A and B are shown apart, each in its own frame.
Chain A
Amino acid sequence: MLEWRKFNFFELKQYGDQDAFSNILSDSDIVCSTSGNSQIILGDSCGFIHVFPKNFRDSYSFKAHNSITHCELSTQNNLLVTLGTDETADSLPEFKVWNLNKLNKSVPACVRNVKTNLQRATSLAVSENGLNLAIGFERGNLTLYKGDITRDKAKSVKNVTFGTAPIKGITFKQVGKISHLFVCSDSGVYLYTIHSRDKEIKNVLDTNGPNIATNCCWLQQSSNSEGYFMAGRDDAIYCYTPEGRAPCYAFEGRKVLIRWFRNHLLMVTCPIMENPLQTKPYTLTVIDVNNRFIVFTTQIEVISSVFVEFGTCFILTKNKLLYHLDEKDLQSKLQSLYKKNMYDTAVKIAKNNQYNDAEGLSDIFKNYGDHLYAKGNFSSAVEQYIKTIGYLEPSYVIRRFLDSRHTQYLTDYLQSIHKEGKASTDHTTLLLNCFTRLDRIDELKSFLENYRQNHFDIDVAISVCRKSCIDQALNLAKFNEKHNHAISIMIEDLKDYENAIEYITKLSYDDAEKNIMKYGSSLMDHVPQKLIVLLKKLCTDYVAKKCDESTIKEEEDHDIFTINYRNGGFIDDREQATPEDFIHLFGDSKRLIDYIEYLIRNLPTCSKVLYNSLIEHYLTLWKISLNPSNERAGLEQRLVELIKNYSQFYDSNHVLVLCQTYEFWLGAMLIYEEKKLYNLIVRHYLNTKDFPSLYTLCKRLGTTDPSIWLATLNGLKSCNQVPSSFLQETLQVIASEKLQSPLQVLNVLTSIDKGPNLSTVRSYFMQIFQKEDDFIRKDRESAEKYHSESEELKQNIETINRDAIEFRSSLCDACHQQLSFPSIFFLCKHSFHMDCIRSFSETEKDCMVCRKKNSQLLDMMHVQNESRNKNHVFQEKLENTHEQFSVIADYFSRGLFNKIVLLSDDEDENRERLDDINISRKNLPSRHVEKSLPNISEAKMRVEENLRTNVEHKAQLSEGRMRLQEQSYKLSKPVERQQVPQKKVSLPITQQREKQEIKAAYPITNNPFDDESDDDKNPFKDDANYDDKLNPFADTDEAEEVIVKSPPISANPFDDDDD
């Protein structure tokens, strides 16, 4: 016979303080027991009641009866009911009610004492609320005390009979206001229902067979189920509800005790045939009724009581030993189940124990799966493994089923993973591979179609499908709008270019563009025409086909405004491809040209690249068509037209290089011209010896840019066989436009190999000489003119200085009326009425006529004076220019080194001013310098030519100047003292220079700094006059050195400033 499976989830342990019981109970036996409200109550054979609290130490005892048979606790009021005999000689049966809450010196208050029937009581029950009390007797009758048990109410006592056998157990069960009284005896199980005071119903729930004894009962106290009344009989434990029968649990043995402990049925059985030799005759069994197995069973000595109290279970033996039932922890329970490979039970237990840790459960499933796998039950194993999804690493399972025999199971597992949404791309790949391996195309299809539920990576799916069933992959790609994949499948796998391009035309702009970029070249190889049409569209006004149709249909339903709005928005937002991105796709120049021409025609703006490539491909075609034909001519024409008219569109440098590489010189020339690179054109013509073209070019362009002639001439240098007429012409233009100095022209001409004969160049040089002559003559003339003018002026001054001046004018120069007093006469022989001059001017000090001229002069002098003081400006100029001499010459010419005294506005200002001017003229070479200004500029030109030879000079000059600065800083008073003789010296030097200047052809020789011959005039050289003691530097060599170097400084006209 198969019975309960057995496990050992509990341990029975002796509980701590064993002496406590034996001490208190001493030699008396335990007769009855009860528990509740965290107390264990024992009644002993001596009539004592012992109450133990949780710690078992603070117990108290009191004498209740002469002898006790039963005790029960009404938990709500903590009332203890004891049944026993009184202390009279008759030992009459009685029951007492004790209030355990009212302790008086460890004796609770006895609130009631009632005599009962004389029959032997076999059972006692009290309801939880303390309102009902029942005592069962050995003849099957029962006394029911209704109402508060602490009060005497004789009327509410009722006797009821239940069969004939002794009543073994009574239990009250309160359901709302209804009290159920379960009564069990060997005759059967009865229910006595007390609805109200008068309405009481007696029901028979079960009747026993005669040989099956009912020994004990217990009311299941369980929160979830309704709470069965359990009666223990020899064959089984039968459960009852007030409704009737409930399940029964078959378990052989004479039941001594039944208890309900934490969803477990706990029972103590004893053998039906007693064997006195047996030390442990009793059996303690705990059954897990939910899972249908025995969780603990052990042989044990005679048990007197079992308490389910304090949340645990205590077992008290007749020998007063206290045992405690220890439940093992879940892990060890599970371990013991694993050992027996009872994984399903383990799962059940784990779940029952609110073992909500899913990870722990998955561990069980994994173990279960492993077990099943080991047994070869793969499908069940997979079922278990599936339950671990999300916790167990899938690779663990996958590895187990990778064998090709297990593909089916693997597929199941992987499908579940996908359903859970925990799949990685690798899993998808594997699954799809499994499908294909198993030829489960239908499943594959349905899997793919439900991809939303299946949560897989479409990219992976497509790539897997491509290997096995391309159609599926294509559909998948199309359906999921994975255009890349769809197109790549069509092109690479199916070679279905037509459809591919069809497909692309249906895509949105972005996708279409991207895909064309990717697959354009292969499409170009196979369906060039269609592709080009598409490309043209893309670049101009691409609209996805699909959109077109569907939106139009939809829009028909909408009102017109939205259509307009949409269309408008669509056009505005429409993108256009950059056409040059597609150029690389074209292998054939003609197609490309067609394409670009179309775009240029249809697009408002095209990029330079586009034009560049258009030209390039025209050039290729041009190059290919070698033999001159109509085609070639047409191309040439087209090219020229392009290059000429579209110069702003293309990148001229690029096109130039193209023209050069393709040797399309016509174009190159056009670009050169455009870019004004005339000498390059010239060079080209010279290289090709195309003199007529060169001539026409020069003619044409010479008017705007004469330098082209010069370039031609220079180019001719390296070229022989130059037609003399051309050379002549060139020289003519150079001469007339003064493009180059004759010397250089000569240089060029001499460098020509087998140079031109004299006749060719004669006219040119003749012309040059003529011109030079003219120039010299003109200069001379002007020199004469200035000279005479200055003489005149001198004369004038003389006159003013010495002679009397007659003021003869009788007319006012302002009003041209007869002069009348008061009037003013100016030295310039202008005269005015006093009133006139006042009306024209605020002051009477200036001649109104001359004032303008005078003020100009004054201003000029002011400016000069000012700039003279700005030494740093001069220095800067010197340093910045590479032609210091010309700067100095310029300064000389402007008389900036001379002293100019500006007159203040005195009464006799005119006179003094003129005086001063005169003096300055006398003393300083300023006039001469001014007059020789053209010479100087000529000199400047010479200087330019001889720049290098002068460099040393300038270096000296600037050095000298620097020394000067140094010294002017270093020398203080001693130097100042010496300046008196120095001033005297200055005059002869300048005078001498004057003479030299006139004589010398080059003013450079006139450079005062070179004039070291005047050493004797240097005051510093004059040792005799020099007082050593006055010189603070005289003692040192250094000072001497300074002095030695000073001569040029003293000669420096800058020193004149000091006065």
Chain B
Amino acid sequence: MSYAYLFKYIIIGDTGVGKSCLLLQFTDKRFQPVHDLTIGVEFGARMITIDGKQIKLQIWDTAGQEAFRSITRSYYRGAAGALLVYDITRRETFNHLTTWLEDARQHSNSNMVIMLIGNKSDLESRREVKKEEGEAFAREHGLVFMETSARTAANVEEAFINTAKEIYEKIQEGVFDINNEANGIKIGTVSTPTNPSIGSNLPGGQSSNSCC
């Protein structure tokens, strides 16, 4: 499938906030009620259209458990966008956002677009985190905010597409160096038939000293 750009996303957040479900809803348009733990990292892809351009989204769905943090951390690198997800029915997932954000900022490139997502908006009755709190957090940290529901598919499309739009705008503004694949952006096979050779200038040393 030809595309103009390929954006790499990463979905992060505490375990059980619905990261995999968001991805499944976005890629397959279905909802799986039974919670399957993600062990390691999985990924999905979908084509979207922005500004008349085909954009392929390659989305990394990471395990939320603390134990896998070291594994998932290596995937931050080379992501253009990140969905930071919390569960509106579980306050502690909201409380952990700071840690996640720090982690993400530390291991990814600085231009990465981060979207804050309060998932499970369908469970209004069990809500613990107000929407305003989410909005406030996003404002404070310069994030885009959205409440979604993977069950009802509310705002799921928008969350991914808005992120893509923001990245696209940044590309237009020239913030991203699109020739550096470590930014999580790849120019498609259509526009550039030959792959730019960028293998050797990876920032290998940057990640090697981060182990905890």
Show the binding face of A for B, using Cβ within 8 Å.
1-4, 188, 201-204, 206-207, 209-211, 235-237, 244-251, 291-292, 344-345, 380
Contact = CB atoms under 8 A, between A and B. Distances in A.
Interface stretch (B60-68, B92-100, B135-143, B160-168): B60-68
Interface string B65-96: 11110110011001000000000000000000
A246 B43 contact: yes
A202 B208 CA distance: 21
Given A236-B40, A236-B71, A204 B211 contact: no
A905 to B, nearest CB: 128
B179 interface: no
B174 interface: no
Contact of A4 (B34, B39, B67): B39
Interface in B17-63: 33-34, 36-43, 63
A650 to B, nearest CB: 80
Given A1-B65, A2-B37, A209-B211, A235 B204 contact: no
B106 interface: no
Contacts of A248: 40-41, 71
A237 B200 CA distance: 24
A344 B36 CA distance: 10
Given A2-B15, A2-B65, A235-B71, 4 more contacts: A3-B37, A235-B70, A245-B75, A250-B71
13 contacts: A1-B66, A2-B37, A4-B39, A201-B197, A201-B199, A204-B200, A210-B208, A211-B211, A236-B40, A237-B40, A247-B40, A248-B71, A292-B39
B66 to A, nearest CB: 8
Contacts of A246: 43
Contacts of A2: 15, 37, 65
B202 interface: yes
A250 B39 contact: yes
B71 A207 contact: no
A235 B40 CA distance: 10
A207 B203 CA distance: 10
Nearest to B181: A244
Contacts of A250: 39-40, 63, 67-68, 71
A816 B37 CA distance: 154
A204 B204 contact: yes
Contact of B41 (A1, A204, A247, A292): A247
Interface in B151-206: 197, 199-200, 202, 204
B209 to A, nearest CB: 9
Interface string B108-143: 000000000000000000000000000000000000
Contact of A206 (B37, B39, B74, B200): B74
Contact of A292 (B37, B66, B199, B208): B37
B74 A3 contact: no
B17 to A, nearest CB: 14
Contacts of A251: 39
B2 interface: no
A207 B199 contact: no
Interface residues of B, number: 29
B82 to A, nearest CB: 16
A237 B68 CA distance: 12
B187 to A, nearest CB: 14
B67 A1 contact: yes
Contact of B39 (A201, A249, A344): A249
List the 3 shortest-distance A-B pairs measured between CB atoms, nearest first.
A1-B67, A203-B199, A250-B40
A230 to B, nearest CB: 12
Contacts of B63: 250
B41 to A, nearest CB: 5
Contacts of B207: 207
A380 B75 CA distance: 36
A188 B208 CA distance: 11
B40 A249 contact: yes
Given A1-B67, A207-B208, A247 B42 contact: yes
Contacts of B74: 206
A292 B71 contact: no
Nearest to B62: A248
B141 to A, nearest CB: 27
Query: Most A CB atoms within 10 A — which of B40, B63, B207?
Result: B40
A562 B42 CA distance: 71
Contacts of A236: 40, 71
Contacts of B15: 2
Contacts of A211: 211
Contacts of B37: 2-3, 292
A245 B75 CA distance: 9
A203 B202 CA distance: 10
A292 B211 contact: no
Contacts of B40: 236-237, 247-250
A282 B71 CA distance: 24
Given A1-B65, A245-B75, A344-B34, A207 B202 contact: yes
A250 B78 CA distance: 20
Looking at B15, B39, B63, B78, the one whose CB has the most chain A CB atoms below 10 A away is B39
Contacts of B39: 3-4, 249-251, 292
B67 A292 contact: no
Contacts of A210: 208
A250 B74 CA distance: 13
Nearest to B63: A250
Contact of A204 (B42, B66, B75, B199): B199
A869 to B, nearest CB: 116
A907 to B, nearest CB: 136
Contacts of A345: 34
Of A202, A206, A248, chain B has the most CB atoms within 10 Å of the CB of A248
Contacts of A245: 75
Contact of B36 (A206, A244, A247, A292): A292
Contacts of B68: 250
A246 B58 CA distance: 10
A517 B210 CA distance: 94
A245 B70 CA distance: 16
A2 B37 CA distance: 8
B178 to A, nearest CB: 16
Given A2-B15, A235-B71, A250-B71, A207 B204 contact: yes
A791 B74 CA distance: 167
Contacts of A202: 199
Nearest to B201: A204
Nearest to B37: A2
A999 B196 CA distance: 164
Nearest to A202: B199
B75 to A, nearest CB: 7
Contacts of A237: 40
Given A207-B208, A209-B211, A247 B199 contact: no
A247 B68 CA distance: 13
A918 to B, nearest CB: 137
Counting chain A CB atoms within 10 Å of each CB, the highest count among B67, B74, B208 belongs to B74
Contacts of B42: 247
A248 B67 CA distance: 14
B175 to A, nearest CB: 22
A387 to B, nearest CB: 13
Nearest to B197: A201
Contacts of B75: 245
A1 B68 CA distance: 9
Interface centre among A209, A235, A249, A250 (most CB of B within 10 A): A250
A880 B116 CA distance: 126
A185 to B, nearest CB: 14
A380 B71 CA distance: 35
A913 B41 CA distance: 150
Contacts of A203: 199
A983 B34 CA distance: 136
A223 B90 CA distance: 42
Contacts of B43: 246-247
Nearest to A205: B199
Contact of A209 (B67, B197, B208): B208
A211 B210 CA distance: 12
